[in-house]
Structure 1
Amino acid sequence: MSAPDPHAQIQELRQQLQSLLEAAHDNERKLDRFDALERRLMAVSSMEELVTLLLVECRDDFGLDAAELWLLDPEGELRRALPTLPMAKAPRLLEHHGPLKDIFGAVRTTRLVGPGHGEDLVAQAFEPGAGMRSAALLPLIRQGLLIGSLHFGARDPERYDAVSGTKFLDRLCAIAAIAIESMLNRERLRRAGMTDGLTGVHNRRYFDHRSLIEFSQAVRHRYPLACLFLDVDHFKAVNDRHGHQVGDEVLRQVGGLILRSLRTGDLAARYGGEEFVVLLPRTDLAGAREVAERIRALVQDAPFVTPEGGTLSATLSAGLAMLPAGAVSFAELLTAADRALYAAKRAGRNRTVAHGDDTGAAAA
């Protein structure tokens, strides 16, 4: 039996040492990238910035082929907020825990999946046809509750191996969950400051601010701007006959019907009491009248459900005005819509009247 070659042993040890050094340097680079990412996550100031960081910049920085963010949104608060944000990629909003349970089951820990170790989960975690072969699935947990998940995907089936460590990923998902919860709370506070708590439409304060912006844009770019004043007919009688709790419920449901009738970019607000105001940018007279009539018909046909389970009917009157040529202030448009509303009231209610209508009584 020949003696071991000392030179070959030294060479092998050098190779092993070099491999260890390369692995250490690689881990150090990963740690630096994760540390930089964590710092940026803790410093984000908006939901748009957070989503872009997780879904676009993470993918680019870590050489991923795909990134997905799922967020639980049973009350629809994110669904109402996120469509207004100009994001390069949007998260998937979940109405219930079902999709999260399918992925994590009862064990809510980071999962590395791929061929032979959960490849069916790879297909569930990404859009159909994405072509991912392996993935890291990160649960987002705050205060013991699963609020969503973050998915990193690769076309390389060996990128995420089941036996690999998940220390960096575990820390990342913990930091990401904190950042997401912080942004959700900030968004809730922001919306609370600009939303009418009863009806769900914007409040007067927000309308006063936003209307000046819409007015300025319409004048500068010379596009039409329509304004609707909407008032629930005989609302005092509803309160007197059924009580203020029922009156509040009618207003809440009217607010929902108004929101259902508008496009993204339109603005609805509770102006005061039972009166609502709507701004319709880039909408001509015919289009604005159509919106007003749609809202009026929805309210007229709706069975308003009372807290006791009964129903009652209600109607509303609508005043419509278009931004006049050469207008120097938004108040001109608002005043014209308000006058049209009073014309609708005088003409018998439950109708739409546009400022300048000859009869003062458009379709009832």
Structure 2
Amino acid sequence: MLNRVQHNSLTLKRLQSFEMRLLGLNSLAEMIEFILGQTPALFDLDVVSLCLIDPKNEIADYLDSDNYGFRNREGLFLVNSELQVRNSFVLSSQPFLGSYQTAVCEQFFSESSLQKPASVVIAPLIRRDKYLGSLNLGSYRTDRFIQGMATDFVEHIASVIGICLENNLNVETMRRTSLVDPLTGVNNRRFLEQRIEEELDRSQRDREPLSCLFLDIDFFKRINDGFGHQAGDHVLTLVAGAIKKQLRNNDVMARYGGEEFVALLSQSDQRSAAEIAERIRVSIANLGIEHADQSIPVTISIGAATYQPNRSLKKRVPDIALQLIQAADTALYEAKRNGRNRVEHGGLVLALEPAQA
């Protein structure tokens, strides 16, 4: 009897610790990583997975924007239909509990695992009568989760996770709305202004170069005047998508204004930046854009600049950010002056000398 009391007391402390840490996390990516990484040890489980319903790929976009490698994260599943989760529960809000049944459980546990759990709990994550996903717990012991066992503990955890998930999704939606250009779907200038200093900080810490591309669609006013503003919007959207396709997941891209875009290329020196810029230029020239049965030729001019950290000089990040953008912008004007549909590099931006008192 004493052992049971001590066990329950320890479980309660673990649950309280779990809740406090979960509620203190600041992003969706952090929440997912905490659940998948910490839950097994906290509650003596062999397998933990998380299934999230993502019909519009919004969760995938949020995680991509945080550079979280969710596609390769063991135990995380994104599904595009609520029915894929809802149909697994006989009673809409009650967890599935008992021995591992392939027909019910295989979509909630990794196929790559060498050993399947012997007993499982699959608990729905529900908020305001809406399915958000499921929390899936597994044990190699057949007697860990058996039918008829009380599920209050698991339902409480699922409820807390559901609340945190809803809150994080709301925050991510608001953040995306305020930092994403609604026409092209890429980040806006405000986002760039926040991220460039973060990228420069990282560049300085790692002693790795950071390159900036300033991109401008050639003769865009002619497109609007000759084909109409709807055609112009169509061109902007396709060009933004083509640029993004040539960038890596950890690169930063933003619509700077009008027909201008900026890309920050982490760990990219002058040569690498020139190669990426040229790939972008070629891909835009080969787009073959059509609108209302009309072919619209589109090219782009690109200016590049590269920041190279200097160990011996003090770094003033805001000044360097401004200098890097200006150097890339100057190179862009050089590309325009030299005939357009070309790439020009503005050279290296070095750390500035410390300001004199």
The residue type paired with residue 127 of structure 1 is S
The residue type paired with residue 85 of structure 2 is L
Q: CA deviation at 1:183?
A: 0.5
Distance in 1 separating the partners of 2:293 and 2:27:
41
Indicate conservation of the 8 Å contact 1:318/1:353, yes or no.
Answer: yes
Q: Per the alignment, do residues 315 and 113 of structure 1 end up closer, same or farther by CA in structure 2, a change over 3 Å counting?
A: farther
Quote the residue 1:353 is aligned against.
344
Is 1:176 aligned to 2:161, yes or no?
A: yes
Indicate conservation of the 8 Å contact 1:266/1:278, yes or no.
Answer: yes
Q: Structure 1 regions of 5+ residues with no counterpart?
A: 1-17, 357-364
Indicate conservation of the 8 Å contact 1:319/1:344, yes or no.
Answer: yes
TM-score normalised by the chain length of structure 1: 0.80
Quote the residue 1:58 is aligned against.
39
The residue type paired with residue 252 of structure 1 is T
| Secondary structure at 2:104 match in 1 | helix
Quote the residue 2:330 is aligned against.
339
| Secondary structure at 1:103 match in 2 | coil
Q: CA deviation at 1:64?
A: 0.5
Indicate conservation of the 8 Å contact 1:122/1:134, yes or no.
Answer: no
Q: CA deviation at 1:250?
A: 1.8
**1:316 pairs with 276, 300, 307, which one?**
300
Quote the residue 1:246 is aligned against.
231
Q: CA deviation at 1:276?
A: 0.7
**2:57 pairs with 66, 76, 80, which one?**
76
Alignment of 1:1-364 (within 5 A): 30=11, 33-83=14-64, 84-85=67-68, 91-97=76-82, 99-100=84-85, 103-104=88-89, 107-114=92-99, 118-128=101-111, 129-219=114-204, 221-304=206-289, 306=291, 312-323=296-307, 329-355=320-346
The residue type paired with residue 298 of structure 2 is A
Indicate conservation of the 8 Å contact 2:213/2:305, yes or no.
Answer: yes
| Secondary structure at 2:88 match in 1 | helix
Distance in 2 separating the partners of 1:221 and 1:166:
48
Q: CA deviation at 1:267?
A: 1.4
Distance in 2 separating the partners of 1:179 and 1:216:
30
> CA-to-partner distance for each residue in 1:10-57, whole Å, 9 max, x for gaps?
xxxxxxxx5xx7667655654554455445544443324422342232
Q: CA deviation at 1:180?
A: 0.3
Q: CA deviation at 1:102?
A: 6.0
Q: Per the alignment, do residues 162 and 90 of structure 1 end up closer, same or farther by CA in structure 2, a change over 3 Å counting?
A: closer
Identity %: 35
Indicate conservation of the 8 Å contact 2:208/2:308, yes or no.
Answer: no
Q: CA deviation at 1:93?
A: 2.0
Distance in 2 separating the partners of 1:302 and 1:143:
45
> CA-to-partner distance for each residue in 1:286-316, whole Å, 9 max, x for gaps?
221221122122222224364x686634221
| Secondary structure at 1:278 match in 2 | strand
TM-score normalised by the chain length of structure 2: 0.81
Q: Which moved more, 1:214-223 or 1:347-356?
A: 214-223
State the superposition RMSD in angstroms: 3.0
When Rg is computed on C-alpha atoms for both structures, the one with the higher figure is 1
Q: Which moved more, 1:62-71 or 1:128-137?
A: 128-137
> CA-to-partner distance for each residue in 1:107-155, whole Å, 9 max, x for gaps?
453101315xx35434432112243111100111223222211100100
Q: CA deviation at 1:86?
A: 8.2
Distance in 1 separating the partners of 2:21 and 2:76:
19
> CA-to-partner distance for each residue in 1:206-242, whole Å, 9 max, x for gaps?
2223223333443564432222111011111121223
| Secondary structure at 2:81 match in 1 | coil
The residue type paired with residue 351 of structure 1 is R
Q: Per the alignment, do residues 275 and 119 of structure 1 end up closer, same or farther by CA in structure 2, a change over 3 Å counting?
A: closer
> CA-to-partner distance for each residue in 1:228-264, whole Å, 9 max, x for gaps?
1110111111212233233223212222222211112
Structure number with higher strand proportion: 2
Q: Structure 2 regions of 5+ residues with no counterpart?
A: 348-357
Q: CA deviation at 1:156?
A: 0.5
| Secondary structure at 1:271 match in 2 | strand
Q: Per the alignment, do residues 150 and 349 of structure 1 end up closer, same or farther by CA in structure 2, a change over 3 Å counting?
A: same
Quote the residue 1:5 is aligned against.
none
Q: Per the alignment, do residues 331 and 56 of structure 1 end up closer, same or farther by CA in structure 2, a change over 3 Å counting?
A: closer
Indicate conservation of the 8 Å contact 2:75/2:109, yes or no.
Answer: no
Indicate conservation of the 8 Å contact 2:50/2:108, yes or no.
Answer: no
Indicate conservation of the 8 Å contact 1:113/1:119, yes or no.
Answer: no
Distance in 2 separating the partners of 1:216 and 1:42:
28
